[in-house]
Amino acid sequence: MSIFIDDELCTGCGNCVENCVFSGVEIIDNKAIITENCAFCGACLDVCPVNAILIESEEFKGDKIDLSQYRGVWVIAEHYQNIIHPVAFQLLGKGAELAKELEVNLTFVILGADFDDQLDKISLYGPDQIIYIKSPILKHYYSDLYVEALTDLINENKPEIILIGATPTGRDFAPRIAKRLNAGLTADCTGLEIDQNTRNLLQTRPTFGGTLMATILTPNSRPQMATVRPGIFQSPEKMKKNTEIKKIEYNFKEKDLVSKIVKVIDREKSTINLEEAEIIVAGGRGVGSKENFKMIEELAEVLGAELGGSRVTVELNWLDQDRQIGQTGKTVSPKLYIACGISGAIQHLVGMQNSEIIVAINKDRKAPIFKVAHYGIIGDLHEIVPVLIEEIKKIKNEE
Ligand SMILES: Cc1cc2nc3c(=O)[nH]c(=O)nc-3n(C[C@H](O)[C@H](O)[C@H](O)COP(=O)(O)OP(=O)(O)OC[C@H]3O[C@@H](n4cnc5c(N)ncnc54)[C@H](O)[C@@H]3O)c2cc1C
């Protein structure tokens, strides 16, 4: 990749310098100069008023494949103790939108041992087809078997898009399959759309430590594979649908496996369920101290809400790690999210911006959290939160 400045067009206005988070451009003698820190992110291109900056990427030199052979959107499910992970249903919701735009079928793929009784229930989530790969050994997740069976199935059916949960299991098998298929895989997507002109999947995800959102394309290979964290998309409304069910019996042998599951140990169940919570009250550095967090806890308690926080509050040991919301924490989408003393850094926003209603309390009227908030309260949370608690208590007593 190369980047150029057209000296004749450049006016030295400095917009590029102001918008570069990498110190990748400087103004010398009234002209922009690219430095060795440039990360080719393209932020400078977007803000240059005279289009003086140009990024050239090398032409694709691999074998061109016939993209028109690939049709259909697939969602690959995962399960534990015969219960399908909710992210698979959330992906069916998004998958249906993509399939509709592309005018293709939506397929749900499940590998398991004992799902015959659940297939009708799964069809209510809207797939046109369910492919059920059945084998007694698939009661548990085996990386090798998933990679083997799914690679064959994909090669045979040629879907154009494959969506997988960005869970530890999905993150394990997705890249192995992508490598075998020589396909592009974008991890941890927060947005998926179709470019109607090219049928390419526009895969958006945070990048450069969350400072930028990048939209990634896989224009030259198929399928286009994406993983998505739980909670980013909504499960679809259930509906009656004539779903075609295709069952494929596999005769996997345990002796053929490279690894063997000897024992499955349940992790101690956390009582914290941020991903499923309908109301979340979250605190940030603005709360001030661990002691002050009691007030945030009380607000959560009167609302029947879960307690969450920004990464800073975890680093300061005010909250446990499993209450962190954001890029390196949980992704949540409650009906109500109350952010107290949280600035709204992009790494926090990607974890909560899909909440139905966001209320932000912050003393800085320019805090970025107000850009995503539906209701903003500008002021000191130490004055505002106690009033909220009292008012909610009053309303509850009146009921
Ligand atoms: C790779 C990477 C991953 C990251 N992952 C995450 C993540 O998963 N989650 C996450 O949250 N962050 C994450 N971060 C950190 C993120 O960049 C921010 O630093 C962090 O979110 C800031 O937390 P904060 O909003 O609590 O603190 P600050 O940014 O310091 O904001 C505190 C806010 O409180 C307000 N305030 C102060 N006092 C009061 C008061 N008395 N009343 C009302 N308002 C007040 C201030 O005006 C300010 O807006 C990550 C960073 C990186 C680089």
Which of 275, 328, 340 for a ligand 1 pocket mutation test, highest count of atoms within 8 Å of Cβ?
328
The number of beta carbons lying within 10 Å of the beta carbon of residue 214 is 13
| pLDDT in the model for residue 210 | 67
User: Counting atoms of ligand 1 from 1, which one is nearest the CA of 283?
Assistant: 26
- The pLDDT-based confidence of 273 (bands split at 50, 70, 90) is confident
In this prediction, what percent of the chain has a pLDDT beyond 70? 97
**What does the DSSP 8-state code read for residue 116?**
G
Q: Give the residue among 120, 112, 43, 117 at the shortest CA–CA distance from 79.
A: 112
Provide residues with CB under 6 Å of ligand 1.
209-210, 284-286, 310-312, 324-329, 341-343, 345, 347-348, 351, 361-364, 367, 380-382
Cα(147) to ligand 1 centroid in Å equals 39
Q: How many residues does the chain have?
A: 399
Of all protein residues, the one whose alpha carbon is nearest to atom 49 of ligand 1 is 343
| pLDDT in the model for residue 254 | 77
Domains of the chain: 2-56 (3.30.70.20), 67-254 (3.40.50.620), 279-398 (3.40.50.1220)
Q: Give the residue among 334, 340, 367 at the shortest CA–CA distance from 353.
A: 334
* C-alpha–C-alpha distance, residues 36 and 225, integer Å: 32
* C-alpha–C-alpha distance, residues 275 and 321, integer Å: 14
pTM of the model: 0.74
Of all protein residues, the one whose alpha carbon is nearest to atom 31 of ligand 1 is 343
Would you say 385 and 295 are in contact if contact means Cβ atoms under 8 Å apart? yes
Reply yes or no on whether the pLDDT at 41 is more than 90.
no
User: Counting atoms of ligand 1 from 1, which one is nearest the CA of 310?
Assistant: 11
143-180: pLDDT as tens digits: 999 999 999 999 999 999 999 999 999 999 999 999 99
- The pLDDT-based confidence of 109 (bands split at 50, 70, 90) is very high
Cα(285) to ligand 1 centroid in Å equals 6
Cα(161) to ligand 1 centroid in Å equals 35
